[in-house]
């Protein structure tokens, strides 16, 4: 039985409750809370501090505050994880926001979650958690439902939510939360190949069928809804992405996802104390964005930080004894097996000369068409002994399911039901040694590297310990196939083994948490007193003075070039570890400043010599082949081809020239059955004198008022698209990893042309070459315009602000700096400074509600996090409410 105490209380300007219970004035003694109560205190920027005496009550508080701030996002996510998107949003549509599982069509997502996040999975998930974590999850569902009930009866709250009248806004149960956790744990494996898994079928298999019976109240006349997402088309739903690009991304479908993390030990601070910064580059919108919170059970738990929406434990954060952060790991969390099929049946595979049947499971999805007509679509999902069969034939025919062969994927995280138990235990860690012991014992962090520090401890910890295939390089060499050799040219780290031989299975080593996974003692870790760092490169150069070597390729590789962002991170570490920073407090102040200084390392290293080449002449000229169409018969031209024709006849126009440049690599399309396409040489001529002057004056940073950052980013994007061997005159050398590759640009005119094309690209977008960054890279929400600093990963920015579509407006589709924390300890306990660039409230970036954290980030105003009771009590925006369960 749920009940409120006291009157409703409105939201403050910085975020908080739409409706909450009794509020005590700041400064008054806080009343004790009962055994079934939850205390929620909102401080500056709407950060919730949730306090209870029991685990279920604490979970209820978490579910309640997350629903207050992100009800619509959570509700849609629970529809996704239940596999019901096709019913509510249509089978051929896609989620509006990016997520760790990409943006596949709804029907494909439904088949995946119906087929994998089923009742058997949730039952096992619950069985493998400690009772306290299960109680948290039970409570989360209850708290979410509590807020939903209040929301439905509060006209004022409903007026400000886009999902207020949605039929998919429903109560949830614990299984919804377990499905949410599962979706996160398989993000680096199965979830990367959802269309390829749910559309995999042997040649000649039935594509789609109707299931008899009713859907809801539709009666027995339910039928299949025609859909471009049905099998046969959806398998080719790969857009213009290449398989190599897909494989290069550890998580999701956006290149900007990643993180920075550095930890400085006693040799850097001059004290027996360490300092840590966590700086994930993550989603600003969607179900996987971060949510900041502080959770307390007196005497048992006191932890703060962030989690994904729908997760009731802290995933990156700190307590009064430890602090930790993560970056996406370069290790592969899955492997592929090439199946040799039985010649008599393509759903049977040969294993040491014996034929064995795949598991074939029929999955049904309810769908609703554009006019409301109901139907059921069924597919058969196939699984081998290794894992599901997937069909990569839409990317390359050789990787498809043929009469002779097929591919199966084994995800090391599919059975990793300890992933969030690991976080739950970390939340309660009492020392750095305790934290390390938990990580080594559980070996369950799903797809991230970890850094950590401890109170009164001058050591810093790095580890890439979690589920990874136990595939030594010798096994890879002995069990390779010709097809696997071709795959290795696209992705040399992912194991691609012969599935027809038992000798080629993943190894089973002593000490592993599950058969086939690497044991913790065999995985990279480093305990230092100077520093550790990771910026999404492999473990190899965690510390420039102590490379980690001798590990198998599956862990990400060694002696290979770092990203420019990675090189800058190590440069920053060296700059910060100077003699004048011999205190934790001093180093912390310098670190906070450095972390938000948007240096373009590509410009720091290469601007001068690149401009010497690009600006040797005031104009750049080259010839490009522009497609045109024969005069007769007259075709019905698309807008793209019409623009190309215009550019051929009016190349003096900047916009036409930009179009001609673009069409060089993407021939225009026409609608005609008889005309032949021709290519006409067109001379391009671009004045770059002004651009050269702008870049010479530019200081190499992307601050809000900097002029030249937009131009440099467009210039570097074009250079970065070149192969390293074509761009750099000095190649990478493993004995000089922070200095190489170097000397970009060769005497072939490509550098000058890249600058000219950058000028044209800005002109096509209506941007001047000297436009200040603030005019274009900003958050525009609720009538407010907030300039955002930083740039994309490729140009070597440590401060990342990037959109996958290349646009400059920052919003729900941005990925970049998200949650930031700088944490240390002193005699009084943990001292933390935080920022939440994307805000707490789902409406912050679109309606200006709860915009205060975004404004704080824009002005670089680190928030001293009110962790201790004395700090919470004197917070100027404190509001308190109590819920009873």
Read off the pLDDT of residues 667-681 as tens digits, 9 standing for 90 and up. Answer: 333 333 444 557 788
Task: Give the pLDDT confidence of 420-473 residue by residue, as tens digits.
Answer: 999 999 999 999 999 999 999 999 999 999 999 999 999 999 999 999 999 999
Residues near 25 by beta carbon (within 8 Å), at least 6 away in sequence: none
To the query of whether residue 259 is one of the catalytic residues in this protein, the response is yes
Helix H or strand E segment including 373 = none
Mean pLDDT for all residues in the chain: 89
β pairing state of 670-671 and 345-351: unpaired
Task: Specify the pLDDT at position 215.
Answer: 39
φ and ψ at residue 834, rounded to 5 degrees: -135, 160
3-state SS of 242-260 is CHHHHHHCCCCCCCCCEEE
Residues near 864 by beta carbon (within 8 Å), at least 6 away in sequence: 831, 832, 833, 871
Task: Please state the domain extents for the chain.
Answer: 3-186, 189-249+334-411+472-505, 619-687
Task: Specify the pLDDT at position 625.
Answer: 80
Q: Which burial class, exposed, middle or buried, applies to 861 when counting CB atoms under 10 A from its CB (0-12, 13-18, 19+)?
A: exposed
Task: Specify the pLDDT at position 767.
Answer: 96
Q: Do domains 3-186 and 189-249+334-411+472-505 have the same CATH topology?
A: no
- Rounded Cα distance between 371 and 64, Å, is 36
Statement: residue 764 has pLDDT above 60: yes
Task: Specify the pLDDT at position 804.
Answer: 74
The encoded tokens of residue 608 equal 């001068």
Confidence of residue 207 (pLDDT cuts 50, 70, 90): low
- pTM for the whole thing? 0.90
Helix H or strand E segment including 285 = none
DSSP 8-state code for residue 506: P
Of residues 29 and 852, more confidently modeled: 852
Confidence of residue 578 (pLDDT cuts 50, 70, 90): confident
- Rounded Cα distance between 311 and 837, Å, is 20
Task: Give the pLDDT confidence of 88-105 residue by residue, as tens digits.
Answer: 999 999 999 999 999 999
For residue 67, what are the CA distances in angstroms to 76, 171, 283? Answer: 12, 11, 18
Contact yes or no for 477/492 (Cβ under 8 A): no
Mean pLDDT, range 13-38, rounded to an integer: 59
3-state SS of 537-602 is CCHHHCCCCCCCCCCCHHHCCCCCCCCHHHHHHHHHHHHHCCHHHCCHHHHHHHHHHHHCCCEEHH
Sign, CA dihedral 298-302-24-72, equals negative
Contact yes or no for 626/648 (Cβ under 8 A): yes
Class of domain 189-249+334-411+472-505: mainly beta
Q: CATH assignment of 3-186?
A: 1.10.439.10
3-state secondary structure of 470: coil
Q: What angle do CA 184, 187, 191 make, to 5 degrees?
A: 115
The encoded tokens of residue 376 equal 């059921």
3-state SS of 421-455 is HHHHHHHCCCCHHHHHHHHHHHCCCCCEEEEEEEC
Mean pLDDT, range 638-664, rounded to an integer: 35
Least confident of 8-22, 38-52, 485-499, 610-624: 8-22
Task: Specify the pLDDT at position 647.
Answer: 36
Task: Specify the pLDDT at position 254.
Answer: 76
Contact yes or no for 868/34 (Cβ under 8 A): no
- Rounded Cα distance between 251 and 102, Å, is 9
Confidence of residue 624 (pLDDT cuts 50, 70, 90): confident
Confidence of residue 404 (pLDDT cuts 50, 70, 90): very high
Confidence of residue 633 (pLDDT cuts 50, 70, 90): very low
Least confident of 221-235, 615-629, 862-876: 221-235
Percent of the chain whose pLDDT exceeds 70 = 87
Task: Give the pLDDT confidence of 123-141 residue by residue, as tens digits.
Answer: 999 999 999 999 999 999 9
Task: Specify the pLDDT at position 30.
Answer: 65
Least confident of 134-138, 526-530, 636-640: 636-640
The encoded tokens of residue 355 equal 């034929």
Task: Give the pLDDT confidence of 542-554 residue by residue, as tens digits.
Answer: 999 999 999 999 9
The encoded tokens of residue 704 equal 């809000």
Task: Give the pLDDT confidence of 587-602 residue by residue, as tens digits.
Answer: 999 999 999 999 999 9
Task: Specify the pLDDT at position 208.
Answer: 54
Task: Specify the pLDDT at position 314.
Answer: 99
Contact yes or no for 396/243 (Cβ under 8 A): yes
Statement: residue 211 has pLDDT above 50: no
- Indicate which residue of 86, 227, 259, 645 is catalytic: 259
Residues near 742 by beta carbon (within 8 Å), at least 6 away in sequence: 605, 728, 729, 730
Statement: residue 576 has pLDDT above 60: yes
Task: Specify the pLDDT at position 745.
Answer: 87
Statement: residue 182 has pLDDT above 90: yes
Of residues 650 and 342, more confidently modeled: 342
Mean pLDDT, range 783-803, rounded to an integer: 95
Closest CA to 823 of 457, 554, 578: 457
């Amino acid at each position: 039985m749920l009940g409120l105490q006291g009157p409703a209380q409105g939201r403050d300007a910085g975020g908080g409750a739409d409706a909450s219970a009794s509020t005590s004035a700041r400064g008054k003694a806080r009343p004790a809370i009962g055994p079934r109560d939850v205390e929620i205190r909102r401080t500056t920027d709407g950060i919730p501090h949730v306090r209870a005496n029991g685990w279920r009550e604490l979970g209820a508080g978490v579910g309640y505050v997350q629903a207050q701030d992100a009800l619509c996002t959570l509700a849609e996510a629970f529809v996704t994880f239940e596999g019901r998107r096709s019913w509510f949003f249509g089978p051929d549509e896609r989620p509006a926001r990016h997520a760790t599982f990409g943006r596949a069509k709804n029907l494909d997502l439904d088949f995946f979650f119906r087929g994998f996040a089923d009742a058997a999975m949730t039952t096992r998930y619950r069985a493998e958690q400690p009772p306290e974590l299960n109680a948290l999850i039970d409570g989360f569902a209850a708290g979410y439902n509590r807020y939903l009930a209040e929301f439905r009866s509060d006209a004022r709250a409903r007026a400000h939510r886009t999902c207020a009248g949605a039929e998919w806004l429903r109560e949830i149960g614990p299984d919804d939360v377990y499905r949410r956790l599962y979706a996160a744990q398989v993000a680096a494996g199965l979830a990367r190949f959802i269309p390829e898994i749910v559309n995999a079928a042997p040649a000649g298999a039935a594509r789609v069928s109707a299931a008899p019976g009713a859907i809801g109240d539709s009666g027995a006349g339910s039928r299949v809804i025609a859909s471009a997402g049905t099998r046969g088309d959806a398998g080719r739903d790969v857009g213009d992405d290449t398989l190599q690009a897909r494989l290069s991304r550890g998580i999701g479908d956006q290149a900007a996802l990643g993180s920075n993390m550095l930890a400085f030990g006693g040799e850097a601070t001059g004290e027996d104390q360490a300092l840590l910064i966590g700086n994930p580059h993550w989603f600003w919108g969607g179900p996987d964005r971060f949510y900041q919170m502080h959770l307390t059970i007196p005497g048992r738990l006191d932890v703060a930080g962030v989690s994904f929406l729908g997760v009731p434990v802290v995933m990156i954060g700190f307590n009064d004894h430890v602090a930790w952060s993560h970056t996406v790991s370069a290790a592969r969390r899955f492997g592929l097996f090439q199946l040799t099929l039985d010649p008599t049946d393509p759903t049977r595979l040969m294993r040491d000369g014996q034929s064995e049947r795949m598991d074939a499971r029929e999955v049904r999805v309810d769908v609703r068409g554009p006019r409301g007509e109901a139907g059921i679509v069924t597919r058969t999902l196939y699984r081998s002994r290794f894992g599901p069969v997937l069909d990569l034939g839409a990317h390359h025919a050789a990787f498809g399911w043929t009469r002779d062969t097929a591919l199966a994927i084994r995800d090391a995280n599919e059975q990793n039901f300890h992933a969030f138990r690991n976080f739950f235990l970390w939340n309660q860690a009492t020392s750095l040694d305790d934290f390390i012991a938990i990580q080594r014992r559980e070996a369950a962090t799903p797809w991230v590297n970890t850094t950590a520090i401890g109170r009164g401890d001058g050591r810093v910890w790095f580890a890439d310990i979690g589920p990874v295939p136990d595939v030594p390089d010798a096994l890879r060499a002995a069990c390779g196939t010709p097809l696997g050799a071709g795959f290795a040219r696209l992705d040399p780290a992912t194991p691609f083994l012969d599935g027809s031989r038992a000798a080629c299975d993943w190894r089973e080593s002593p000490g592993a948490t599950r058969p086939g996974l690497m044991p913790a003692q065999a995985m990279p870790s480093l305990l230092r007193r100077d520093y550790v760092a990771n910026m999404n490169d492999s473990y190899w150069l965690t510390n420039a003075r102590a490379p980690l070597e001798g590990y198998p390729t599956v862990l990400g590789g060694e002696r290979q070039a770092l990203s420019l962002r990675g090189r800058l991170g190590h440069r920053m570490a060296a700059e910060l570890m100077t003699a004048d920073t011999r205190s934790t407090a001093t180093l912390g102040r310098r670190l906070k400043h450095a972390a938000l200084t948007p240096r373009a390392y590509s410009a720091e290293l290469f601007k001068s010599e690149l401009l010497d080449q690009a600006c040797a002449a005031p104009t750049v000229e080259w010839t490009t082949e522009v497609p045109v169409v024969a005069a007769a018969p007259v075709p019905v031209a698309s807008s793209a081809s019409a623009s190309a024709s215009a550019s051929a006849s009016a190349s003096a126009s900047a916009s036409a020239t930009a179009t001609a440049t673009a069409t060089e690599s993407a021939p225009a399309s026409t609608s005609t059955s008889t005309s032949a396409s021709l290519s006409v040489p067109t001379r391009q001529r671009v004045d770059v004198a002004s651009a050269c002057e702008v870049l010479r004056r530019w200081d190499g940073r992307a601050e809000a008022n900097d002029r030249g950052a937009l131009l440099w980013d467009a210039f570097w994007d074009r250079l970065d698209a070149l192969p390293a061997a074509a761009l750099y005159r000095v190649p990478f050398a493993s004995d000089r990893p922070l200095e190489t590759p170097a000397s970009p640009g060769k005497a072939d005119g490509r550098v000058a042309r890249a600058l000219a094309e950058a000028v044209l690209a800005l002109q096509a977008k209506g941007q001047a070459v000297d436009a200040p960054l603030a005019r274009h890279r900003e958050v525009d929400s609720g009538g407010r315009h907030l300039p955002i600093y930083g740039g994309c990963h490729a140009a070597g920015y440590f401060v990342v602000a990037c959109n996958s579509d290349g646009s400059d407006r920052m919003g729900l589709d941005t990925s970049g700096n998200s949650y930031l924390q700088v944490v240390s300890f002193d005699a009084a306990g943990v001292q933390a400074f935080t920022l939440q660039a994307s805000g707490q409230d789902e409406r912050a970036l679109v309606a200006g509600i709860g915009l205060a954290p975004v404004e704080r980030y824009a002005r670089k105003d680190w928030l001293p996090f009110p962790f201790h009771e004395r700090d919470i009590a004197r917070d100027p925006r404190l509001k308190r409410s109590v819920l009873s369960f």
